[in-house]
């Protein structure tokens, strides 16, 4: 028998984790979802609520998130024309992830500053 030392299989966890990372990867997608979730529905408000984001990056990420059915873009036909961004209900399923990341980040800051 070709008995080899085998690595332990962990694909059952790695694969879904990577599926998720493919959707919410990068520096900006979760911050944008958080910002919209908290009530910022206009391009400029979202931009101002996220330090360091440029309009180019914001526009690109908003398109990505729209394609992933996480946010909804609505044109409001007033003067001047406004655009409203809202979370799709599906975006709420990201809440546990956001809280897990927030909690870890808060604790990590304590750990790092305690050093």
Partner DNA sequence: GATAGTACTTTCCTAAAGGAAAGTAGAATT
Partner DNA sequence: AATTCTACTTTCCTTTAGGAAAGTACTATC
Which positions lie near a copy of itself, rule CB under 8 A? 5-11, 13-21, 23, 25, 27, 30-31, 34-35, 37-40, 42, 44-46, 48-51, 90, 93-94, 96-98, 100-109, 111
Look-up of token digits 């800051």: 109
Binding mask 60-99 for DNA (x = CB under 7 A): --x----------x-----xxxxxx---------------
Distance from chain centroid for Cα 15: 19
Q: How far is CA 13 from CA 10, 86, 102, in A?
A: 6, 31, 22
Position 44 contacts DNA (CB under 7 A): yes
Position 2 contacts DNA (CB under 7 A): no
Rounded CA separation 9/12 (Å)? 8
What three-state secondary structure class fits 18?
helix
Position 59 contacts DNA (CB under 7 A): yes
**What are the structure tokens assigned to 83, written together?**
């655009």
User: Cβ 21 to a copy of itself, closest distance in Å?
Assistant: 7
Select from 99, 74, 76, 72 the least CA-distant residue to 87: 72
Report the interface residues with DNA, using CB under 7 A: 25-28, 42-45, 52-57, 59, 62, 73, 79-84
């Amino acid at each position: 028998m070709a008995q080899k030392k085998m690595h332990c299989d962990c694909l059952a966890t790695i694969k879904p984790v990577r599926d998720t990372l493919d959707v919410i990867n990068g520096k900006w997608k979760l911050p944008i979802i958080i910002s919209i979730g908290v009530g910022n529905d206009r391009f400029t408000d979202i931009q101002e609520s996220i330090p360091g984001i440029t309009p180019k990056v914001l526009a690109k990420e908003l398109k990505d998130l729209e394609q992933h059915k996480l946010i909804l873009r609505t044109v409001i036909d007033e003067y001047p024309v406004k655009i409203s961004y809202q979370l799709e209900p599906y975006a709420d399923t990201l809440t546990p992830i956001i809280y897990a990341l927030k909690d870890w980040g808060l604790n990590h800051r304590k750990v790092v500053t305690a050093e």
